[in-house]
Chains A and B, each alone.
Chain A
Amino acid sequence: MKVLVPVKRVVDYNVKVRVKSDASGVDIANVKMSMNPFDEIAIEEAVRLKEKGVATEIIAVSCGVLQCQETLRTAMAIGADRAILVETAEELQPLAVAKLLKALVDKEQPQLVILGKQAIDDDCNQTGQMLAALLGWPQATFASKVDVADGKAVVTREVDGGLETLAITLPAIITTDLRLNEPRYVTLPNIMKAKKKPLENVKPADLGVDVAPRIKTLKVSEPAKRSAGIKVADVAALVDKLKNEAKVI
């Protein structure tokens, strides 16, 4: 069984981004870029499925600029067998990415696509669900436990109020939540091995997909600043402030 895992190159989660002075977006020049943390969990889950003998081949995919190759090499160092870059300098929105992925799924015929539940840059939380809809496949989003057997995936999901378990028939889409697994550290020998693994480069036009944005960003600004308040000396002073100044208790 083939497993496809899309990965996104995003600003590293430790970087505090700054809004550009012309309000056109955030400044991502010269900041550290990494694989979206949820996508790392997705790759790790696919590798574990391969180690269990459930998956036979893992294909990592990234859509975006040429530098996404680095993200794909990381995915292959974790354990993906090969990679495909859909290269474009255009701004890609989730619907366009879902269409690119659908074209690749049609070509590669995986039984499972595992994606991160959201990217930590645009915080959209859309692509997996959109891909499922375009393919007419079932979905199990926000997964914290995955068992694949007998043409089915039984997935425990993190939902409001607790956990929910679904059974979905393959082929299917799974999106990862934080508690699904803890991704392994990539080792130097695996980084070296990843450099020799195949990485194919295609363009959106090769896949026949129109990636034109459907949402126009008019302005990006800093959020209203919350200024620091005061330090109180002790518990009594705190209770007094809450009762008499803030009047919230």
Chain B
Amino acid sequence: MTSLVIAEHNNASIRPATLNTVTAAAQCGGDVHVLVAGLNAAAAAQEAAQIAGVSKVILVEGEAFAHGLAENVAAQVIAIAGSYSHILFPATASGKNIAPRVAALLDVAQISDITKVDAADTFERPIYAGNAIAIVQSLDATKVITVRTTGFDAAAATGGSASVETLAGVADSGKSSFVGAEIAKSDRPELTAAKIIVSGGRALGSSEQFHAVLEPLADKLGAALGASRAAVDAGYAPNDWQVGQTGKIVAPQLYIAVGISGAIQHLAGMKDSKVIVAINKDAEAPIFGVADYGLEADLFDAVPELVAAL
């Protein structure tokens, strides 16, 4: 029994979500191999080879993999899928995009967003925005899985010494092409990997105020910035900051919810945080129901005061 983890990387280095996925793969039992499909991705493959618990890295390079197009990456996974009992992707935008394609080509079900491995064929996953937890058993020979990174500790990034095998890649499908990307450059930590997150809601009132009020706090704490769906829909914050059922799932050490009422869809994305702080002037806001520390106050007074006190 061997598991294959599809690495998430930017060619130069491995993204942290890969480490949590390796942990889940190891819990499925057997060896763990990692596929790095990219362009000029030897550095990422070397990094993958050092992850504790990985016994082999497969490096596949080509123009077809430069932008992680689902058609090409899925075809590549299928080309090497034969010997694996489990194929795991992190449940990131990229993993969610590719994994179901792999599952359908193998004619097997996909198990989405697992938070726990109970046995090699039995997994736990949240459903209904995390309002219920299902224990499910796969009846297929090959298990195609996406891993909710907050459910598993990160494997140690160093300490391993896997071999790196280079394979020729599959051809480009010719049916899709990359046009461009607008990826925000930021010195802040990545939202899903941050230890502290400062998150804002509609009560911030405008994009200008969202940034003016929350950025000093995030700077002071070295925190990532997040937002509720209402704040993103209102245009106060970019879409990739959205925390919730259909956005990012986070579990930092400290989550500070500022002016967020706490809809169930938002709670689904952050209720596994270690410590939750809520700052809201509405005493009845549902966010207080999950907060360890609630401060009932006007955020426009409380946040600057908090920045000054830190």
Which A residues are closer than 8 A to B by beta carbons?
A: 11, 13, 16-17, 19, 26, 38, 93-95, 98, 117-118, 120-134, 137-142, 144, 154, 157-169, 172, 177-179, 213-223, 226, 228-232, 234-236, 238-239, 241-242, 246, 248-249
Given contacts A160-B93, A162-B240, contact A133 B296 (CB under 8 A): no
Given contacts A26-B128, A132-B101, contact A120 B245 (CB under 8 A): yes
Q: Are A179 and B175 in contact (CB under 8 A)?
A: no
Determine if B166 is an interface residue (Cβ-Cβ < 8 Å): no
- Within B188-218, the residues touching A (CB, 8 Å) are 190, 192, 196
Residues of chain A within 8 A of B293, CB atoms compared:
229-232, 238, 241-242, 246
Q: Are B112 and A124 in contact (CB under 8 A)?
A: yes
**Residue from A26, A95, A144 within 8 A of B109 (CB atoms):** A95
Residues of chain A within 8 A of B196, CB atoms compared:
248-249
Residues of chain B within 8 A of A241, CB atoms compared:
293
For B287, give the chain A residue with the smallest CB separation: A228
Total A-B Cβ pairs within 8 A: 258
* Chain A interface, >50% SS class: mixed
Measured as residues with beta carbon below 8 angstroms from the partner, the interface class of chain B is 35 or more
Residues of chain A within 8 A of B221, CB atoms compared:
249
Q: Are A13 and B265 in contact (CB under 8 A)?
A: yes
Determine if B79 is an interface residue (Cβ-Cβ < 8 Å): no
Residues of chain A within 8 A of B101, CB atoms compared:
129-130, 132-133, 139
Q: Are A26 and B97 in contact (CB under 8 A)?
A: no
**B286-310 vs A: 1/0 string, CB under 8 Å?**
0011111111110000100110011
Q: Are A167 and B176 in contact (CB under 8 A)?
A: yes
Report Cα–Cα, A229/B246, bound state, in Å: 26
Report Cα–Cα, A123/B196, bound state, in Å: 26
**B109-136 vs A: 1/0 string, CB under 8 Å?**
1111100000000100011111111111
